[in-house]
Structure 1
Amino acid sequence: MAVTKLENGRWEASYRDPSGRERVKRHRTRAEADRWLTTVKGQIHRGDYVDPRLGRTLFSRWAQEWLDGSAHLKPKTRADYEGLLRVHVMPTFADRAVAAITPGDVRRFISDKVGSGSAPGTVRGARKVLRLVLAVAQAEGAIRSNPCDGVRVPPSPKAEMVFLDAEQVEALAQTIDPRYSTMIRVAAYTGMRAGEIEALRVGRTDLEVGRLTIAESVTEVQGHGLVFGQPKTYERRSVTLPPFLTEELRSHFGGRDLDPQAFVFTSPEGGVIHHKNFYNRSFKPAVRAAGLPERTRFHDLRHSCAALCIALGAHPKAIQERLGHSSITVTLDRYGHLFPKLDEALTGRLDELHREAVSSFRPGPISDGASQDLRRGPSASRGLSADLGV
């Protein structure tokens, strides 16, 4: 670092940034130059130095760099992000120097979007994309902190789940176009997502053991058509079939020797099901004809599977594996309100445990080895262990 007096009486301060590039700035006085260098030296020492040249780079350039590095995203996710960036974020920030964007700018952006009537989910998505782009600039040293951090957005209302019982599932299956009846039952009794069912191939059905392997999903992406990829959690999984579904799939195949790559369920033309067409032309009319709640979605069959399993006393871990959740926490967060009041049941059993211990107690000297057997009934500990799933 150095300070040099110029012929015109001004002072030039220079330093080398962490990359070794020389930086120079002119000041009116020596004191200004010294203060500036002291500030820069402190930033470099603390590790929060920002490159002023990069900070002057327009947001649009960082947006393009972020897009170039997002090849890992699923096609639909990438398309959704691109749409949010193009329609909502770029009109406001494209021509702004990235270092000039402040938390106040982000708050005004969110407020304007809410005020213009944008849905909460859209506002939340736009803020997420803005934050992701600015995170690239932050990682490259163009900004010290992300101005989106700490800026709150309106919560997105959660879609109300519809839980169908077995009779309602059957009503829907028998009302819809017969080619989709088995598909409805598979959704309700396996918990598979729509894209997983529509991408299910014959070679991934093992009717001898009653098992389906879920290794692929299909989704419709605007501008790209139907796109096949891995399931939502990026992991293969398998689900077992109730015997009635195994027999129904055998009937669905009709005893034919099918190509393992053929799809189990197809459109009327024999191709891959376009979910939007199926939903509007077949599913929703069948929902109305079966007398089900108008808001019932195909995804509610997945929720219904969880509810049916819980009603049968299934362990949350088993439900997690069947539905393909990334963790048991997701399962409990989503469906925890459907589980029995386990704490109440535990409290009752603790009371029973105490009463059995009192009734089985025998006064007199007790050896260390026999103390537990004499002081509490043998059935109590076994019963409690069973209740806790041990």
Structure 2
Amino acid sequence: MATLRKRTLPSGKIVWQADYRDGGGKRRHKQFTLKKDADAFLLGALGEVRTGQHVAASASVTVAKAAEAWLAHAEKIGRERATVRRYRDTYEKYVAPRMGGTKLTAVTAPSVQNLIDDLTGTMSLSSLKKVKGALVSLFKHAVTRGQAAINPARDVILPDNKRTVTRPEYPTKAELRSIIEHALPRWRPFFRLATVTGMRASEMRGLLWKDVDVEGGVIHVRRRVDMYNQFGPPKSKTGTRDIPISEATVAMLVSWQKECPASELGLVFPTLEGAVTSHANIQHRAFWPAQIRAGVSTDTGEKDKKGKAVMDAKYSLHALRHAAAALFIEQGFAPKKVQSLMGHASLQMTYDTYGYLFPSEDDDRAKLATMESALFG
């Protein structure tokens, strides 16, 4: 039974106390200065009890305490170290200073929205998405443990950046040819395969010879390697995919297999010792120097000891993936096919990243005009 009663404290202060029983039958109470606040609380609490969502403030834990349990659980269930590290870094840098000491029951959708609004303009949209994602995951864990009644981060609105979307930068076909030509011989197969398949660098680093179907002309993407050089599944369910390759690429891989360093793991692109190659080594020691030698570079504005301009490579290793997507679209591949080849989690992701490259309505009008001309003369 729920009651609302007026009380006079020893100090002489008058308060309104809301009494009720939680979902477990335990007696709970909370005091308010105003009767209307006590009424509103009691009405809401009873509704939550009926739906099995109520968590009493006295039984709640702080966001910081919940975060510890959430991160420990992520490690326990085998989330990739890089993912757990990203969660932890995001929480400690952006969430902990603002609401780490707040109880979960006191965190509302407006308070989370205020946090996101405060961060908007100070970081990229992708970083904002990581903050929201961390909060959604944290509260999801807390709700399933009975520490929170709702997930206040789930419906938080991120800023609309459609007007400020930056298009991915990638090498032109001429630049690609020059980069591969100026790359060290042992790295040319890597850069060429990345360009014609759109595989992520992490997938290339984890590629095994048993994944290369020479007879069928297909590469089976079944794993990736994280920043700690640990093997794991692709980034999403759609990341597990089969990518067709041409006869020329098959011939290139057959030739490379004869020269490839021995690897007990069966890696297609191992180190000279046969181990997993780190992303940083490929980029710093192979891809960027190849760009400098190819003249695919920008002037830093600095001078070396001899007075020569210091040049920087124009593109990151990930730019080869963007270049592959652009080539697929140029060949007329449909959006769904591009999504499949790239291993995107959704078709929307494909459109958000490369939508501007697909044929426009003007192109459709030109095709219709050609069709009508052929039909009617």
TM-score category (smaller protein): 0.7 to 0.9
Partner of 2:347: 328
2:214 to 183, 202, 207: 207
Partner of 2:230: 227
Say whether residues 1:186 and 2:173 are aligned partners: no
Count of residues paired in the alignment:
352
**Are 1:170 and 1:185, in contact at CA under 8 Å, matched by a contact in 2?**
no
Alpha-carbon offset, residue 212 of structure 1:
1.4
Work out the percentage of aligned pairs sharing the same amino acid: 26
CA distance in 2, matches of 1:187, 1:296: 14
CA distance in 1, matches of 2:138, 2:95: 10
Alpha-carbon offset, residue 197 of structure 1:
0.7
Q: 1:128 to 1:3 in 2, by over 3 A?
A: closer
| Matching of residues 1-390 of structure 1 within 5 Å | 1=1, 14-24=19-29, 40-45=45-50, 49-55=54-60, 57-70=61-74, 71=77, 73-101=79-107, 105-106=111-112, 109-110=115-116, 121-137=126-142, 140=146, 142=148, 146=152, 149-150=155-156, 152=158, 160-220=167-227, 225-234=228-237, 235-254=239-258, 261-293=265-297, 294-341=313-360, 343-348=361-366, 350=368
CA distance in 1, matches of 2:336, 2:40: 61
When Rg is computed on C-alpha atoms for both structures, the one with the higher figure is 1
**Are 2:104 and 2:147, in contact at CA under 8 Å, matched by a contact in 1?**
no
**Are 2:263 and 2:275, in contact at CA under 8 Å, matched by a contact in 1?**
no
Alpha-carbon offset, residue 123 of structure 1:
4.7
Alpha-carbon offset, residue 185 of structure 1:
0.4
Q: 1:213 to 1:260 in 2, by over 3 A?
A: farther
**Are 1:50 and 1:142, in contact at CA under 8 Å, matched by a contact in 2?**
yes
Q: 1:32 to 1:69 in 2, by over 3 A?
A: closer
**Are 1:12 and 1:33, in contact at CA under 8 Å, matched by a contact in 2?**
yes
CA distance in 2, matches of 1:344, 1:104: 43
For residues 165-217 of structure 1, the C-alpha deviation after alignment (integer angstroms, 9 at most, x for no partner) is 44322211121121100111000011111011111111111222322111010
For residues 205-261 of structure 1, the C-alpha deviation after alignment (integer angstroms, 9 at most, x for no partner) is 1222322111010021xxxx3221111223421112111111111111128997784
**Are 1:316 and 1:331, in contact at CA under 8 Å, matched by a contact in 2?**
yes
Alpha-carbon offset, residue 69 of structure 1:
3.6
Alpha-carbon offset, residue 113 of structure 1:
5.1
TM-score, reference length from structure 1: 0.74
AA at the equivalent of 2:349: V
Q: 1:239 to 1:86 in 2, by over 3 A?
A: same
**Are 1:202 and 1:260, in contact at CA under 8 Å, matched by a contact in 2?**
no
TM-score, reference length from structure 2: 0.76
CA distance in 2, matches of 1:78, 1:350: 52
AA at the equivalent of 1:231: P
Q: 1:279 to 1:58 in 2, by over 3 A?
A: same
CA distance in 2, matches of 1:32, 1:330: 45
Alpha-carbon offset, residue 283 of structure 1:
1.0
Instruction: Identify unmatched segments of 5+ residues in structure 1.
Output: 360-390
CA distance in 2, matches of 1:339, 1:31: 58
Partner of 1:368: none
Instruction: Identify unmatched segments of 5+ residues in structure 2.
Output: 298-312
Alpha-carbon offset, residue 8 of structure 1:
8.9
CA distance in 2, matches of 1:108, 1:88: 12
Q: 1:195 to 1:86 in 2, by over 3 A?
A: same
Q: 1:292 to 1:114 in 2, by over 3 A?
A: same
